[in-house]
Amino acid sequence: MKTIIVYESKTGFTERYARWAAESLGCECISLKDASKDKLAGYDRVIFGGWIMANMISGLPKFREMGVFPAVVFAVGASPAFEEVLAQIREQNQLGETPFFYFEGGVDYGRLGFVQRMMLKMMKKMTEKKKDMTRQEAAIVQLLAGNFDHTDRGQLEEMLALVKRSDNGC
C-alpha cells in the first residue's frame, strides 16, 4: 500500500518521530506545509502526526480541510503518556475510531517563538499554584523547568506493527 506520513512540527520532535516511522516503513514523509489534496491523492494511505498544544493536535484541522481521511493519527507532547490524557486528546480532537498513538516528545525553549515560550512559562506558573494537581499537571510542572528530550524510537513500535499488519508494509 502506497503510504505517506504528513507531519506538523514546531521544534523538531514530531518530525523526528515522523522520519523514524517513514524509515521503518520505507515510505515518504513530508511536512504539512508541503502537502496538498492533489499530492495526497497519489497515496493509498496517509498517516498524520502533529504536536500537542493545549491538548489539541496542531495541524490536524488544516489537514482535515484537505478532505483526506487519515488512516492513523499520532501526537507528540511533553506530557507522560497517561491514559486519561490520551483519552482527553482523543475526545477533544474528535478522533472517533481512528487509530491514535501518543509519543513523548520534549521541550526546546530555544527553538520556540517568543509567544509560545511565554505561553509555556505561564502554563507552568499557573499550574504550580494549583492545590490539587492531577498527575499530569504535577509531571508537567517538573518537566517544564528546562529543556528535555524524551523521544525514543521504541515508542513507535505499536503504531508500526499496526501499519505493517494491515498490509505487510508500504
Ligand X SMILES: Cc1cc2nc3c(=O)[nH]c(=O)nc-3n(C[C@H](O)[C@H](O)[C@H](O)COP(=O)(O)O)c2cc1C
Instruction: Point out which residues bind ligand X (CB under 6 A).
Output: 9-15, 51-55, 76-79, 105-107, 112, 116, 119-120
CB of 46 vs ligand X, minimal distance in Å: 18
Residue 56 cell numbers, joined: 489539541
Q: Which is nearer to ligand X, 13 or 101 (CB)?
A: 13
Amino acid at site 135: R
Q: Do residues 68 and 46 make contact, with C-beta atoms less than 8 angstroms apart?
A: yes
Instruction: Pick between residue 41 and residue 81 the one whose CB is nearest to ligand X.
Output: 81
Task: Give the alpha-carbon dihedral of 88, 90, 93, 98, to 10 degrees.
Answer: -170
CB of 111 to ligand X, least distance (A): 7
Smallest gap from residue 24 Cβ to ligand X (A): 18
User: How much is the CA Rg of the chain, to the nearest whole Å?
Assistant: 16
Q: Which is nearer to ligand X, 1 or 119 (CB)?
A: 119
In the complex with ligand X, the residue whose CB is nearer, 3 or 93, is 93
Least spacing, CB of residue 117 vs ligand X, in Å:
7
What 8-state DSSP symbol labels residue 168? S
User: Minimum distance from CB of 169 to ligand X (Å)?
Assistant: 26
Residue 15's nearest CA partner among 39, 32, 3 is 32
Q: Which is nearer to ligand X, 71 or 143 (CB)?
A: 143
Task: Show the 3-state SS of 86-132.
Answer: HHHHHHHCCCCCCCEEEEECEECHHHCCHHHHHHHHHHHHHHHCCCC
